[in-house]
Amino acid sequence: MIVLGIETSCDETSMALYDANKQKVLASIISSQVDLHRNFGGVVPEIASRNHLIKLEDIYYQILKEANLTPKQIDLVGVTNAPGLIGSLFVGVAFAKGLAYGLKKPLIGVNHLAAHTLSTEIEHPNLKPPYLSLIISGGHTHIYYVDSAYNFTLLSHTIDDAVGECFDKVAKKLGLPYPGGPEIEKIAQDGDEKAIEFPIALKNSKNFSFSGIKTAVLNCIEENKYKVEDLAASFQYTIFRNLIHKLNLVIKELNIKNVVVTGGVSANGYLREKLTDYYKKSGITIYFPSKRLSTDNGDMIAYTAYKFYTKRVFMGLRETAYDVKPDID
């Protein structure tokens, strides 16, 4: 079975072709819009959706060529329909519905967060539920209990800023370009992570809060008392401490031994190293997707669509193309 995955939830336009029989990604393309949004210091929704509209058809034909397939060989179409920017979701879903209708193939709507979690299984086929999933990105900071590919229980979430959003806002205040995460990681290498002690909010709660640390860092920047490198390193270290504190509360409660960490912020090499080393001593295994699959990608949509297909979770071609869910968790 050949599955086409389409991802347009934010500012990456991506497609992948997945061979479910061989359990192999045949071709994958990710078109980033970072250069379009950099001057604005963040993603501009209107620009993002219009660029998806421009890119989708070209990427579709390009990926078929790379996989040496024809449209008729596609057996299933999967597309992100939640959560994300409503305009971006609309463009992807409308394209997918038209394509599925024209090819007379089934269409699966895929939850973007479920796909991030399950993408780890592509590169770690021995990973089986139950496990915890920590999703850290520009729009989300969640911990889920994953009982199966179809059953996710939300255990923890941020009550204010997402962790990636916090990185971007701090980076912007430091005068660093967008996206802020990689820039902070880069300059933090020359800083002292223990130079400044920033707070961890809601210590007795499994939920996250990053507004306090964001404000504390911004105040330190205004005071101009610390080196930029020390600020970046201390901020990054506090984010790590925050993540493990909340994870530990959940792990202790559920006695889980496997944890998946995914989403755009999981590409941060410092956080990967710190989390892996910390939990190695506790007998807990941390699984990361490759850095390429940490970002938004069609691979995870194709793979998850196939998983959903085995349970016959169909989107339905009679639904309106506006049938997107931008805010759903």
Show binding-site residues for substrate: 135-139, 168, 181, 185, 268
Neighbouring CB atoms inside 10 A of 252's CB total 9
Torsion 292-311-5-52 (CA) sign: negative
Strand partners, 19: 2, 24
- Binding-site positions for Fe cation read 112, 116, 296
DSSP codes joined into one string, 116-133: HHHHHHHH-TT--SSEEE
Q: What angle do CA 307, 86, 260 make, to 5 degrees?
A: 40
Residues pairing with 258 in the sheet: 285
3-class secondary structure, 301: helix
Residue 328 is encoded by which pair of tokens?
């759903």
Binding site: which residues? Answer: 112, 116, 135-139, 168, 181, 185, 268, 296
Residue 144 CA to residue 270 CA, distance in Å, equals 23
Calculate the dihedral angle through the C-alpha atoms of 188, 210, 10, 147, rounding to the nearest 10 degrees: 110
With beta carbons less than 8 A apart as the criterion, state whether 257 and 287 touch.
no
Pair of tokens at residue 301? 């949509």
8 Å CB contact between 261 and 287? yes
